[in-house]
Amino acid sequence: MQQFIPYLIAVVALVIVCLRQINQYERGVRFTMGKFSGIMDPGWRLLVPVFQTYRKVDMRIKAVDVPDQKAITRDNVSVTVNAVIYYKVFSAEKAVIEVEDFRYAISQYAQTTMRNIVGEVTLDELLSKRDQIAERIREIVDKETDAWGLKVNGVELKDVSLPPEMERVIAKQAEAEREKRAVIINAEGELASAEKMAQAAKMLSDVPGGLHLRTLRAINDMSSDKSNTVVFVTPVEVLKALEGFVKKTEK
């Protein structure tokens, strides 16, 4: 029995040397004598040394930060744009065989695509339609990287930087727009007030004695504040008529 112990130890040592662990979020791309021979699923897998090699591929979603890219919009405004791309590997075989370094490749392609798309839109479109522009970038990058075994899940434009002089121009434009809206709202209020006053005047004029009652009501409202002096102008003809009436009454 003891004579088999060395052989048993050798077999165990050989198994340990050949054993490879693939985590749940990974896949292994196996090559036998330099030729692709299969995908290694998660778990412990045996690999023949010398004759076989493998490369691990992370299948989780990754985020790639696209650095600041200087571009010129369609209306000749210089801007600086950066973004972030979310992608994952759906084919470990293609990601290893079809492209040398898929992380570097997708980053470079995203930078080029972002500059091209920004050059096709105006500054107003870039600022107001960021979601649509990001979706266009995602579609283009996803279509190209499909052959590399990559799936682009999303693109987000993080920041759009403008030259200082352009920021001042936009601030002045926004201020002018706010003043314009304020003037329009004020004019609409004056128009509504004038319409209501015209309706009230028409109603008072249609009712006999309505204007006189409204005048007396206004005088009463003003007389409630003793700090005010109310001057009520009465035509001379009215005073003469009252004087004649008084004389007739005395007679």
| Interval 172-187: pLDDT, tens | 777 777 788 888 888 8
Q: What is the pLDDT of residues 83-130, one digit of tens each?
A: 999 999 999 999 999 998 999 999 999 999 999 999 899 888 888 888
- Radius of gyration (Cα) for the chain, nearest Å? 43
pLDDT value for 75: 84
Q: Which pLDDT belongs to residue 93? A: 92
Q: Could you give the CA distance from residue 60 to residue 9 in angstroms, rounded to a whole number?
A: 38
Q: Say which CATH topology domain 62-162 has.
A: Tetrahydropterin Synthase; Chain A (3.30.479)
Q: Tokens in use for 162?
A: 């403008």
pLDDT for the residue numbered 109: 92
**Is 18:46 a contact under the CB 8 Å cutoff?**
yes
Q: What is the mean pLDDT of the chain?
A: 81
Query: 188-247, pLDDT tens digit by residue?
Result: 888 888 787 777 767 766 666 555 666 666 666 666 666 666 666 666 555 565 566 556
pLDDT of 69 strictly over 90: no
In the chain, what are the domain boundaries? 2-58, 62-162, 163-226
Q: Which residue has the higher pLDDT, 158 or 245?
A: 158
